[in-house]
Amino acid sequence: MNIATWPESLPRPMRNGFQSQLQDGRKSKSGETGPPAYRRRFSSVVREYSMTIDVPRSEKAVFDNFYRTATKLGTKPFWMPDPTTDGWSMLDASGNPLLTGSGAPLLLSARWLCLFGASTPRETVKGIRFRIAFQISVLP
């Protein structure tokens, strides 16, 4: 099976609107009275993210094609760079960037295996740009 990869030309998600939540993997065992009791519902849970990207018309077409074709309208998994880690500088204990011998910063690399979330992507037009809001689930 060939897994699609998030298009490199698309920007990182905006900080405004970026949210994360762990899927609730609990099942209630509580009776009619007393405090709630829970047990595990799943052996592993996904982390769900809400994201927004701000793109010009040309990159909106890239996103639309990726969603429609590469992920078959959000039904197929895809690899995505982890926006909380990938491309960020590696830091020492004092918070200073670690550098190579030539002075270039060492960058972190991480990627997620994802599925688009339960709702389909939403678009908002802002002037000549498009804001596309979507949800993804990062698979365990």
Residue pLDDT, tens place only, 64-116: 999 999 999 999 999 999 998 888 899 999 999 999 999 999 999 999 999 99
Radius of gyration in angstroms for the set of CA atoms belonging to the chain, rounded to a whole number = 19
Distance CA 43, CA 112 (A): 19
Strands 26-28 and 47-56: unpaired
Distance CA 16, CA 54 (A): 11
Residue 24 has pLDDT above 70, yes or no: no
Check residue 107 and give its pLDDT: 93
Give residue-wise pLDDT tens across range 25-70.
Answer: 556 666 666 677 666 666 677 889 999 999 999 999 999 999 999 9
Which residues lie closer than 8 Å to 83 by C-beta, 6 or more apart?
12, 13, 18, 51
Check residue 95 and give its pLDDT: 92
